[in-house]
């Protein structure tokens, strides 16, 4: 039986020597995501968990506590969260069902089937993304349940409020990706092997815009993962591509093969988790992994941390300022861990107020809050939430937010810019 631990590793200031590790014991999990509004990590707990099998676990990264677990009946797999923090969609490991968790009520309020191919073989979810500004619509990368040899046989489908739109993409036409990201609400970038594809959404579904072959350089031995941010694709093998139009190789993050990559928008850093070099990959009987953070423009190393844990990194996510969560396992894949790394030093861009891409002020006000941006950032939408997670305001004018009609108290502000990046700020109405 595979055992999953949650290691909480705290780095004090910028010191690499002052570390504290505590362990929250769990079983094997399939995926994890972070909600910046509730400031919680949600993880899909597998059937092997002895206390909460087949459930969505909710973890507070600040104090290492598993707060609760929501039963899901079938084993949950891949997850995706809507950009307004309203819903979490998740696939089920051995069925064609997609289920939806309402975050405010912590109840599963919808489930539906992905459908089947022409030979009536059912689909299951390989990747899910929620359409920006549309929490009721998702795009699913599908895999046939009966196929155990490849992840590329189910095509892509669009599902609005549980109903599949008529135009989907059949992988028999070689349109498939195994991982997707939204560039904007109507354009998707997808990746498989060495190929990049662009897809367009319309009222009828999804279609292929263009496909570019053999753009990953060098060709990977194994299929890497990638993270999309501001028209760049950062791959777990270190490749960086400009994907504004024709994908172009423009740089390399690291000479070693990373296992996972994410982009930290709060600190403007690319974060990679990977096997450490052979020199300390196995040390004193313990496998180790490393966390490296890179400048997204120069691709130079910003800082590095060695973590005492198992040596494969399956996924890495941000979980607030100075917080990263890694899902790891050893090379034999018979022992797994979650690591939450807190109190990482902020990047120079985050520390320097003048270099921040977005700022609100004053953060304590009775009437008006101002928004300032730079680097061509334009705020497209915003929502203010009260402490119960209810939207109480979603309008602004001339970079000013009128909060005069709100009740006194603490509010969370979620803003989306013209590149579809999300920013979380807090303010107090007095």
Q: What are the counts of helices (DSSP H) followed by strands (DSSP E) for the chain?
A: 2, 38
Q: CA 319, CA 312: separation in Å to the nearest integer?
A: 20
**Does the domain at residues 357-429 carry the CATH identifier 1.10.10.10?**
no
- CB-facing half-sphere around the CA of 377: CA atoms within 13 A: 21
pLDDT of residue 311: 62
Q: What single-letter DSSP state applies at residue 119?
A: T
Six-digit token string for 9: 């590793």
Sequence-distant (≥ 6) Cβ neighbours of residue 277 within 8 angstroms = 256, 290
The full set of domain ranges for the chain reads 3-350, 357-429
What are the tens digits of pLDDT across the range 280-314?
Answer: 445 555 556 778 889 998 888 888 877 666 567 88
pTM of the entire predicted model: 0.81
pLDDT of residue 168: 82
Q: CA 252, CA 344: separation in Å to the nearest integer?
A: 23
Q: Which CATH number fits domain 3-350: 1.10.3720.10, 3.30.70.260, 3.40.50.150, 2.130.10.10?
A: 2.130.10.10
- CB-facing half-sphere around the CA of 127: CA atoms within 13 A: 21
Q: What single-letter DSSP state applies at residue 351?
A: H
pLDDT of residue 310: 59
Assign 239 to helix, strand or coil: strand
The residue written with tokens 């912590």 in the block is: 106
The CB density around residue 361, as the number of other CB atoms within 10 Å, is: 13
Contact criterion met (CB below 8 Å) for 197 and 215: no
Q: How far apart are the two ends of the chain, measured CA to CA in Å?
A: 54
Contact criterion met (CB below 8 Å) for 78 and 31: yes
Q: CA 234, CA 213: separation in Å to the nearest integer?
A: 17
Q: What single-letter DSSP state applies at residue 355?
A: G
Assign 84 to helix, strand or coil: coil
What are the tens digits of pLDDT across the range 397-426?
Answer: 988 999 999 999 888 888 888 877 778 888
Q: Which residues pair with 19 in a beta bridge?
A: 11
Q: CA 118, CA 104: separation in Å to the nearest integer?
A: 38
DSSP H stretches of helix in 136-197: none
Burial (CB < 10 A; 0-12, 13-18, 19+), residue 404, is exposed
Sequence-distant (≥ 6) Cβ neighbours of residue 33 within 8 angstroms = 41, 42, 79, 80, 81, 88, 317
Q: Which residues of the chain are modeled with pLDDT < 70? A: 1-27, 147-152, 171-175, 217-223, 254-258, 275-288, 307-311, 330-338, 345-356
Q: CA 18, CA 28: separation in Å to the nearest integer?
A: 29
pLDDT of residue 308: 62
Q: CA 150, CA 171: separation in Å to the nearest integer?
A: 12
Q: CA 311, CA 314: separation in Å to the nearest integer?
A: 10
């Amino acid at each position: 039986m595979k055992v999953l631990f949650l290691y909480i590793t705290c780095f004090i200031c910028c010191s690499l020597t002052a570390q504290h590790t505590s362990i929250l014991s769990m079983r094997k999990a399939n995926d994890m995501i972070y909600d910046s509004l509730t400031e919680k990590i949600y993880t899909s707990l597998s059937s092997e968990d002895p206390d909460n099998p087949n459930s969505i676990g909710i973890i507070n990264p600040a104090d290492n506590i598993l707060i609760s677990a929501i039963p899901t009946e079938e084993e949950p797999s891949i997850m995706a969260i809507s950009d307004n923090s309203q819903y979490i969609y998740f696939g089920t490991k051995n069925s064609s069902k997609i289920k939806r968790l309402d975050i405010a009520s912590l109840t599963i309020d919808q489930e539906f089937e992905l459908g089947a191919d022409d030979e009536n073989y059912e689909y299951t979810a390989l990747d899910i993304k929620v359409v920006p500004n549309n929490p009721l619509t998702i795009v699913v990368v599908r895999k046939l349940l009966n196929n155990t040899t490849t992840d590329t046989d189910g095509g892509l489908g669009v599902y609005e409020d549980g109903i599949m739109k008529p135009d989907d993409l059949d992988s028999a036409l070689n349109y498939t990706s195994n991982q997707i990201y939204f560039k904007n609400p109507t354009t998707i970038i997808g990746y498989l092997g060495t190929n990049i594809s662009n897809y367009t959404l319309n009222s009828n579904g999804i279609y292929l815009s263009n496909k570019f072959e053999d753009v990953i350089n060098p060709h990977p031995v194994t299929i890497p993962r990638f993270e999309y941010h501001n028209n760049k694709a950062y791959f777990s093998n270190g490749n960086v591509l400009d994907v504004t139009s024709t994908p172009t190789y423009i740089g390399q993050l690291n000479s070693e093969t990373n296992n996972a990559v994410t982009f930290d928008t709060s600190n403007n850093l690319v974060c990679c988790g990977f096997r450490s070099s052979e020199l300390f990959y196995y040390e004193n009987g313990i496998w180790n992994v490393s966390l490296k953070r890179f400048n997204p423009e120069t691709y130079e190393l910003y800082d590095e941390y060695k973590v005492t844990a198992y040596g494969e990194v399956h996924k890495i996510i941000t979980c607030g300022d100075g917080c990263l969560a890694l899902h790891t396992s050893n090379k034999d894949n018979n022992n797994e861990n979650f690591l939450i790394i807190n109190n990482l030093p902020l990047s120079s861009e985050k520390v320097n107020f003048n270099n921040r891409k977005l700022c609100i002020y004053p953060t304590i006000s009775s009437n008006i809050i101002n928004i300032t941006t730079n680097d061509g950032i334009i705020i497209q939408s915003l929502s203010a939430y009260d402490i119960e997670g209810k939207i109480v305001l979603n309008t602004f004018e001339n970079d000013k937010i009128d909060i005069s009609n709100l009740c006194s108290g603490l509010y969370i502000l979620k803003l989306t810019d013209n590149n579809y990046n999300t920013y979380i700020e807090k303010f107090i109405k007095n």
